[in-house]
Amino acid sequence: MEVILNFQDILLRNIANNFRRSLHDQINWDQRMIGIKGPRGAGKTTLLLQHLKYDLGNQFGKALYVTADHTWFYNHSLLDTAMDWYQQGGEVIFIDEVHKYPNWSRELKNIYDGIPQLKVIFSASSALDIYRGQADLSRRVISYSLPGLSFREYLIFAGIASFSSISFDDIQDRHREISGDIASTIRPLPEFAKYLKRGYLPIFTEGENEYLPKLEQIIDAVVDTDLAYVASYNAGTAAKVKKLLAVVAESVPFKPNISALSSKLDISRDRILEYIYQLRDARLLNVLSVAGKGVSRLQKPDKIFLENTNLSYAIHPVPDKGNLRETFLLGQLLNTGFDVQEPATGDFLVEGVTIEVGGKNKTAKQVREEMSYLIAADDIETGFGAKIPLWLFGFMY
């Protein structure tokens, strides 16, 4: 056990407390078993280590961090490691990248049932369905999702300015006042342009020129490694999924013709749908369905978007600006926890409000017949009436 304790000590030396993700304060850390899902690079490991280092107080020396792909597990089981730690006086175990451990759900269940005094906090790929492993964890684990950075979090993490989050209701009712206050502190539009290209994942601090190549590596790792673990992909499957992702990226928001995709990629219709929803679960795509339409993995979505605008730049060198706007807004709404649907007119339907997305000259012509509507307009610092700066929707979490 000395090996993984030394590994933990080395990692903790590089963990600072100058920035916390907003999710940290939403987690009920008193639960016996907590699962934190999120895309690669979103900061799950940092979140775990910050809590271990700065929040446990007297429990610090009784907490153990392990990562499921460590060589330790070549000849040790997760259950035995947890039992040994408990017998040595341990009270908390953090398990990173749990999906990389075979039989993860069965052994987590064994730990929960067999060592009730030990608290378990684990991270997993977004693609992992925590509740559908080989063992039933639905009554045991409380699950949280860590998305990429909001525009607000990006500004804090980059050291530009610190602002509180803003509710959707306040954005509707007080956007002119709020955006004016923010614009008196920073010039939001240049920073927003940077965020759309290189600000969604915390790794942007490692170098501006390295960000997009690293994002390409993350895409490969999600398909080749994460989905290989979760969905049993082989090399041939991974290649087909990457082709599908490339086709979607060329024309997002993409209105899928499943038959045409099936013919072009030589994949059955059911497999196409399966891959689309797996890529959604892995946080590489977002999907949108018409309001009132049933939600099923057997039904094709009405539109498909990349999960965030940084992916647009990584996959396509000059993405369409209109697509970037819609991709950004949909991602921020979903990450905040809203149920978003495609309305009869306009781009998005949220909480009974129709949102039309466009540039600074966008009018309400398409949605003025709706009872409640907003215009999310790009390239403006402040708005008026129903026209709201697009960047302000990046302050919701």
Total residue length of the chain? 397
Tokens of 307: 């999960």
| Domain extents in the chain | 2-145, 152-395
Q: Please, which pLDDT band fits residue 133 given cuts at 50, 70 and 90?
A: low
The 3 state secondary structure assigned to the chain is CHHHHHHHHHHHHCCCCCCCCHHHHHCCCCCCEEEEEECCCCCHHHHHHHHHHHCCHHHHHHEEEEECCCHHHHCCCHHHHHHHHHHCCCCEEEEECHHHCCCHHHHHHHHHHHCCCCEEEEEEECCCCHHHCCCCCCCCCEEEECCCCCHHHHHHHCCCCCCCCCCHHHHHHHHHHHHHHHHCCCCHHHHHHHHHHHCCCHHHHHCHHHHHHHHHHHHHHHHHHHHHHHHCCCHHHHHHHHHHHHHHHHCCCECCCHHHHHHHHCCCHHHHHHHHHHHHHCCCEEEECECCCCCCCCCCCCEEEECCHHHHHHHCCCCCHHHHHHHHHHHHHHHHCCCEEECCCCCEEECCEEEEEECCCCCCCCCCCCCCEEEEECCCCCCECCEEEHHHHHHCC
Q: Please, which pLDDT band fits residue 132 given cuts at 50, 70 and 90?
A: low
| Amino acid 295: pLDDT | 60
| Amino acid 91: pLDDT | 98
Q: Please, which pLDDT band fits residue 49 given cuts at 50, 70 and 90?
A: very high
Superfamily designation of domain 2-145: P-loop containing nucleotide triphosphate hydrolases (3.40.50.300)
What span, in angstroms and rounded, lies between the C-alpha atoms of 145 and 23? 8
| Amino acid 20: pLDDT | 96
pLDDT in tens, 154-195: 999 999 999 999 999 999 999 999 999 999 999 999 999 999
Lowest mean pLDDT among 7-21, 31-45, 46-60, 129-143: 129-143
| Amino acid 294: pLDDT | 61
Is the whole-model pTM more than 0.85?
A: yes
Q: Please, which pLDDT band fits residue 297 given cuts at 50, 70 and 90?
A: low
Between 254 and 121, name the one with better pLDDT.
121
Single out the residue of 341, 338, 300, 307 nearest to residue 324, CA to CA: 307
Q: CA-CA distances (angstroms) from residue 66 to 37, 98, 108?
A: 16, 9, 14
Give yes or no for a contact between 222 and 229, defined as CB atoms under 8 angstroms apart: no
Mean pLDDT of the 112-140 span: 85
What span, in angstroms and rounded, lies between the C-alpha atoms of 262 and 244? 10
pLDDT in tens, 195-246: 999 999 999 999 989 999 999 999 999 999 888 877 888 888 899 898 888 8
* Percent above pLDDT 70 for the chain: 97
pLDDT in tens, 22-32: 999 999 999 99
pLDDT higher than 80, residue 293: no
Q: Which value, in Å, is the radius of gyration of the alpha carbons in the chain?
A: 22
Q: CA-CA distances (angstroms) from residue 139 to 132, 143, 290, 292, 359?
A: 12, 11, 32, 30, 47
| Amino acid 134: pLDDT | 56
What span, in angstroms and rounded, lies between the C-alpha atoms of 68 and 397? 30
**Mean pLDDT score across all residues of the chain:** 93
Q: Please, which pLDDT band fits residue 10 given cuts at 50, 70 and 90?
A: very high
Give yes or no for a contact between 355 and 348, defined as CB atoms under 8 angstroms apart: yes
User: What are the two backbone dihedrals, phi and then psi, of residue 353, each rounded to the nearest 5 degrees?
Assistant: -110, 130
User: What are the two backbone dihedrals, phi and then psi, of residue 132, each rounded to the nearest 5 degrees?
Assistant: -125, 40
Give yes or no for a contact between 175 and 383, defined as CB atoms under 8 angstroms apart: yes
Between 264 and 334, name the one with better pLDDT.
334
| Amino acid 318: pLDDT | 87
276: number of Cβ within 10 Å: 24
pLDDT higher than 90, residue 392: yes
| β-sheet with 373-377: strand ranges across | 340-341, 348-350, 353-358, 373-377, 387-389
pLDDT higher than 70, residue 37: yes
pLDDT higher than 80, residue 148: yes
Mean pLDDT of the 102-114 span: 94
